[in-house]
Amino acid sequence: MFDHSLNSKYMRRIPYISGLDELDVAGKGIALNHNVNVWKFNRHFISRALLTPSFSKYSVIWTQNLVEEMMDYWKDGEDDDGNFTTNIVEWSHRFTTDSITHFTTGMRVHAIEAHYNELLLSRNKKPRKSINDLKDATKFFKMKYYDEVYTNRPLTDEEVRGNLWETFVAGIDTTANLFTFVVYFLDKYPNVLRKLRDELDLFFKKLGDRRLDLDCLSQLVYTEAIIKEIFRIYTPAPYTARNSTAKDIVAGLVWPEGTQYIINIHGINNNEVYWDEPEKFNPERWFNNKKSEKLMPHVVFGGGRRVCPGRKLSYIELKCMIALIYHKLDIELVVKDTPLKTKFVLIRAFPELNVRIKPRQNNI
């Protein structure tokens, strides 16, 4: 049973629940871990893995390769008119599944390739012959839903499994869902798409035959502004929570130990006190706006001890996806008046978003 006295100085994400012990997740990973010493050790391990410069540099290389592979499948699946009609939600989740499994284990489940072959079969076409083992790819993809001094000890097998499980959950859905929101908003705001294309055309012209790298991605300032604005206006994870481990004063009132605080991230992101015309989709607000930049780290990826350790990887993946795809391809909604209707189970997502993908017109 968990000793609550270990947490007198720290905020938990949720209160202690005996069911976490029954599920054998109470003392593992970081999201639901109530043991402060174990949480700190795991947090240190994940941060050192995801936030190093060498990891960031490699993630650009790997993400570019994976995006180009996915685009090859889209090209291969074109109809006689040069269009590939598909559900972009499924592709984006397959993409992040392949990405995060590679980053965490060094191996791939080939979820993208398996999905493409399944699509071909559903359309009465012969699937590609593959050199990879695809039989468990879709099964794995669907399964993912349902002392204070750091030591140099190795992680136990249970800690490794706990950290991997949480990395899969946190690293797949949020980034995938955000990309589908990008697709939706760029279709609805052609003026933003034009400005994005202007930046991408100039960027790739200067890049020439070189591959993407971490340094050059910093030049994609308008691309990053689009990502930030969609994070703000349609945050994939609109709420988060903290549970107090000691009596505290909040908003001038005394709250007892065990108080559950719900942080309304969506409300903060759309509050007129903090944002000018918050209901307006406006990537330009991120230029020379110190107020926005100050708020951003705290309303998307959290802050303090529990700030998301995968925030850099998320931006790298999204920048690479947007830059490579929108420089070469046109993506339009199959149904132009598709409403902004999502489902919400911990995170917000499109259940389906059908798009038509084709080679970009007037691509320089």
Query: Mean pLDDT across the chain, nearest whole number?
Result: 79
pLDDT tens digits for range 55-77: 788 889 999 999 999 999 999 99
Residue partners of 76: CB distance under 8 A and separation at least 6: 116, 128
For residue 146, pLDDT over 50 is answered with no
* pLDDT tens digit sequence for 208-256: 999 999 999 999 999 999 999 998 888 877 887 788 878 888 888 998 9
Once rounded to an integer, what is the mean pLDDT over residues 151-175? 55
pLDDT digits (tens, 9 = 90+) for 75-90: 999 998 999 999 999 9
Say if residue 203's pLDDT is above 50: yes
Q: Which residue has the higher pLDDT, 133 or 341?
A: 341
Lowest mean pLDDT among 12-16, 176-180, 242-246: 12-16
Q: What is the pLDDT of residue 175?
A: 86
pLDDT band at 275 (very low <50, low <70, confident <90, very high): confident
State yes or no: pLDDT of 295 exceeds 50.
Answer: yes
What's the gap between Cα 98 and its chain centre? 13
pLDDT for the residue numbered 31: 61
Is the pLDDT reported for residue 196 higher than 80?
A: yes
pLDDT tier, 50 (very low <50, low <70, confident <90, very high otherwise): low
> Could you tell me the CA-to-CA distances from 198 to 201, 218, 232, 363 in Å, in that order?
5, 16, 23, 11
pLDDT bracket for residue 147 (50, 70, 90): very low
Mean pLDDT to the nearest integer, 318-339 = 94
Tell me what pLDDT residue 267 has: 87
Q: Provide the pLDDT for residue 346.
A: 67
User: What kind of fold does domain 4-359 have according to CATH?
Assistant: Cytochrome p450 (1.10.630)
360 or 157, which is more confident: 360
The pLDDT, as a whole number, for residue 151 is: 46
Rounded mean pLDDT of 129-139? 67
Q: What's the pLDDT score for residue 207? A: 95
| Range of weakest confidence among 8-17, 84-93, 180-189, 290-299 | 290-299
Does pLDDT of 297 surpass 60?
Answer: no
